[in-house]
């Protein structure tokens, strides 16, 4: 593999000195970019886009052609794993992802098995390899998966939800069945992320998008322990290089200290917690990734610049900060506002790394 020309992101994840604060954006390849929309239209559907390694490579690289970002992230979807388990993923127009066969019966839950990523998810692994080659050492490539709990939410509900009543009912009335889903899904995620690492992913991230809607007791039973098992089961090195791990629980600010102890190298933060306060709470234990409210990108370049400066100042001097949004970028974001963000973070952050 080609040596990295820009490893700032990887060094920041390991809390090593950097010249500036690196930046990438959750959902950076998405509908706010006209070139992405054109490729998606050519693909015919979102799933076709995900399942074509060539097209997934194309859209992964699009934001890097526009912006001086410090990492690429694999273009895929967290729901590829339950789809590979046979639940029948499809996307209803304007309604988001749905499953044809959600887990509602005990026999279906008991029959659940972890897929072989080299077989049922070959298209993702091939995409990782193609993207890594296409990047040619310019920036690192991030692989990812959903967390076991977040995947279980979709698998039981059959679609997104505001209340998650079905999965919570199962969780509280039949915790044995819920734990079975989580155990099988944990094995699937470990196998999936390790396959991505072997194919060339240089960092990996676990998205616990729905963990924050749990009570503390439920989070500590049904979400965090399974992410800790994933951290323990991942390949630590590939090609002689450490592969850093990031976990992100949206709404997880209450449990930062516990998340910091799960074995990850970095914690993703949403915008509901002040990043300077988060840094005080976790100390030098982990790096922090975040945490601008993505809604700010709908405003003006000046407003974006002001908020980016504020977040950088809140984190303060030293390494260990990867600038990002507190959630995925909105499809209605003006591309010029993203340019303002990237330029501001790279220019204004250097003052916090002098002598580091």
**Residues forming the active site:** 27, 31, 40, 77, 154
Q: Tokens standing for 142?
A: 């991030």
- β-strand 241-242 against 237-238: which pairing, if any? antiparallel
List CB contacts of 177: < 8 A, sequence separation 6 or more.
106, 109, 170
Phi, psi of 146 (to 5 degrees): -75, 160
Cα gap 216→221, rounded to integer Å: 9
Indicate the helix (H) or strand (E) that contains 173. helix 165-173
Q: Cα dist. 34→69, 194, 202, 218, 335 in Å?
A: 18, 33, 28, 41, 9
Question: Taking Cα atoms as reference points, which of 177, 50, 60, 61 lies closest to residue 121?
Answer: 50
Cα-based torsion angle of the residue sequence 33, 43, 69, 294 in order, rounded to the nearest 10 degrees: 50
Q: Cα dist. 87→20, 77, 108, 161, 341 in Å?
A: 44, 15, 10, 17, 39
Q: Tokens standing for 229?
A: 């098992």
Q: Are 150 and 161 in contact (CB under 8 A)?
A: no
Cα–Cα–Cα angle for 352, 264, 268, rounded to 5 degrees? 55
Residue 184's SS3 state is helix
Cα gap 210→152, rounded to integer Å: 10
Residue 32's SS3 state is coil
Cα gap 356→335, rounded to integer Å: 32
């Amino acid at each position: 593999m080609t040596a990295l020309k820009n490893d700032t992101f990887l060094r920041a994840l390991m809390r090593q000195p950097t010249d500036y604060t690196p930046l990438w954006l959750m959902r950076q390849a998405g509908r706010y970019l006209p070139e992405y929309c054109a490729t998606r239209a050519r693909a015919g559907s979102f799933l076709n886009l995900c399942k074509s390694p060539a097209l997934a490579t194309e859209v992964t690289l699009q934001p890097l052609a526009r912006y001086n970002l410090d990492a690429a992230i694999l273009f895929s979807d967290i729901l590829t794993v339950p789809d590979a388990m046979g639940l029948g993923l499809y996307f209803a127009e304007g309604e988001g992802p749905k499953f044809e066969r959600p887990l509602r019966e005990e026999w279906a839950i008991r029959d659940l098995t972890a897929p072989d990523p080299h077989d049922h998810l070959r298209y993702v692994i091939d995409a990782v390899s193609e993207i890594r080659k296409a990047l040619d050492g310019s920036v690192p490539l991030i692989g990812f998966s959903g967390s076991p709990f977040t995947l279980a939410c979709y698998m039981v509900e059959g679609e997104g939800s505001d209340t998650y009543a079905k999965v919570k009912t199962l969780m509280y009335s039949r915790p044995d069945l819920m734990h079975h889903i989580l155990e099988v899904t944990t094995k699937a995620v470990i196998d999936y992320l390790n396959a991505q690492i072997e194919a060339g992913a240089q960092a990996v991230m676990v998205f616990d998008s729905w963990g924050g809607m749990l009570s503390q007791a439920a989070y500590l039973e049904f979400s965090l322990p399974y992410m800790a098992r994933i951290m323990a089961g991942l390949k630590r090195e590939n090609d002689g290089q450490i592969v850093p791990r990031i976990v992100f629980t949206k709404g997880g600010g209450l449990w930062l200290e516990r998340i910091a102890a799960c074995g990850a190298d970095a914690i993703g933060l949403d915008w509901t917690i002040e990043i300077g306060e988060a840094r005080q709470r976790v100390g030098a234990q982990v790096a922090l990734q975040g945490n601008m409210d993505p809604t700010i990108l709908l405003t003006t370049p000046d407003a974006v610049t002001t908020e980016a400066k504020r977040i950088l100042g809140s984190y303060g001097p030293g390494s260990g900060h990867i600038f990002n949004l507190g959630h995925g970028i909105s499809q209605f974001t003006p591309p010029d506002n993203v340019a303002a963000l990237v330029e501001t973070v790279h220019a204004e952050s250097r003052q916090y790394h002098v002598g580091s």
